[in-house]
Amino acid sequence: MFFISAPFGNYIHHKNAISVHGTFTLRPQGNRFWAVLKTLRPTRDGWTNRLGLPNPGIYHGITKITEDNVISIAEVNRNEFQKMNKIIPKTASLELNLSCPNTKYLPWDHIRQFPNKDRKWCIAKMSPLSTPEEIEYVLNQGYRQLHFSNTLPMTHLDRTSHAGGLSGKTLIPYTKRLISIVKTDFKSYKRIEIIAGGGVTSEEDIHEYLQEGANHISIGTGWFRPFRTRKLLNQILPNND
């Protein structure tokens, strides 16, 4: 299965992929369109952003729910997941954004309430810097679909850097490390599905992640060349309607 990661999933759809809409927070934040234009920048090894989760809020987010997509949600204040859980339908497919580098990190309170048998997808999107202990915690909260990984905090590469996140080819070794951790350290957990993303722009990138042990692929960077990426998906799954 292929996913079109947010923010690209808000605008791009393809018959061979699941679009991820969001990320939505409890209350509206800023203007998503202008934030994308002002802060999203291609670089040699990927792309950077300082979006900070601008979005129209979860009440708008739930209007985007269909059987064929996923909505991404995040907290900006503690205990907001509890309130969002009362708003979001129990059958909606979700991705919990647990690691946006442009917002403050919060304890993962109340994430256990989201996984249930009626959601086709209930994904934890994690940081490229995730530790084995953090992965274990998320697994113990009931998650069996893990997305590796979110953007890399710019401060990790340069302590003097301003806030922001880096995506693209830079993420490949981080994603591979996380896949290896799951495959090595968490063999006793059944039915774990790994969604691998970061720098996917070619069929070789896809096969590389699959060979590492990923079950699904998330594409973000590739959508800076949308015609090429659409052609790639058409070639890989030409008969998937």
Q: How far apart are CA 3 and CA 160, in angstroms?
A: 33
Considering only residues 165 and 116, tell me which one the structure prediction assigns the higher pLDDT: 116
* Residues 72, 60: Cα–Cα separation, whole Å: 12
Angle subtended at Cα 63 by Cα 57 and Cα 67, rounded to the nearest 5 degrees: 125
What is the predicted pLDDT for the residue at 51? 57
Confidence of residue 45 (pLDDT cuts 50, 70, 90): low
Whether residue 38 is predicted with pLDDT greater than 60 in this model: the reply is no
Q: Are 94 and 119 in contact (CB under 8 A)?
A: yes
- pLDDT-wise least confident of 1-5, 18-22, 153-157, 160-164: 160-164
Instruction: Beginning with the edge strand found earlier in the chain, give each strand of the sheet holding 152-153 in spatial order.
Output: 41-43, 46-49, 165-168, 152-153
For the cut 70, the answer to whether the pLDDT of residue 241 exceeds it is no
Contact (CB, 8 A) for 29 and 76 = yes
| Cα–Cα distances in angstroms (integers) from residue 159 to residues 21, 98, 230, in the given order | 31, 22, 37
**Domain 2-236, CATH among 3.20.20.70, 3.40.50.300, 3.40.190.10, 1.10.3720.10:** 3.20.20.70
Look at residue 38 and give its three-state secondary structure: helix
What secondary structure letter does DSSP report for 223? G
Res. 231 pLDDT band, cuts 50 70 90: very high
Residue 122 phi, psi (nearest 5): -140, 95
Residue 235, exposed/middle/buried by CB under 10 A (0-12, 13-18, 19+)?
exposed
**Predicted confidence (pLDDT) per residue in 153-200, tens digit:** 766 555 445 556 677 888 999 999 999 999 999 999 999 999 999 999
Q: What is the pLDDT of residue 92?
A: 98
User: Per-residue confidence at 240, pLDDT binned at 50, 70, 90?
Assistant: very low
Q: Which whole-number Å values give the CA distances from 11 to 14, 84, 183, 191, in the listed order? A: 10, 23, 34, 31
Q: What pLDDT is attached to residue 34?
A: 47
Tell me, what's the pLDDT at 107? 84
Query: Is the pLDDT assigned to residue 135 strictly greater than 60?
Result: yes
DSSP E strands, the chain: 2-4, 18-24, 41-43, 46-49, 70-73, 94-97, 122-126, 145-148, 152-153, 165-168, 193-197, 216-219
Q: What is the pLDDT of residues 69-111, one digit of tens each?
A: 999 999 999 999 999 999 999 999 999 999 876 566 678 989 9
Q: Summarize the confidence of residues 17-42 as an average pLDDT.
A: 75
Residue 168 has what pLDDT? 83
Higher-confidence residue of 61 and 99: namely 61
Q: How far apart are CA 6 and CA 70, in angstroms?
A: 10
Max mean pLDDT among 93-102, 215-224, 231-240 falls in 215-224
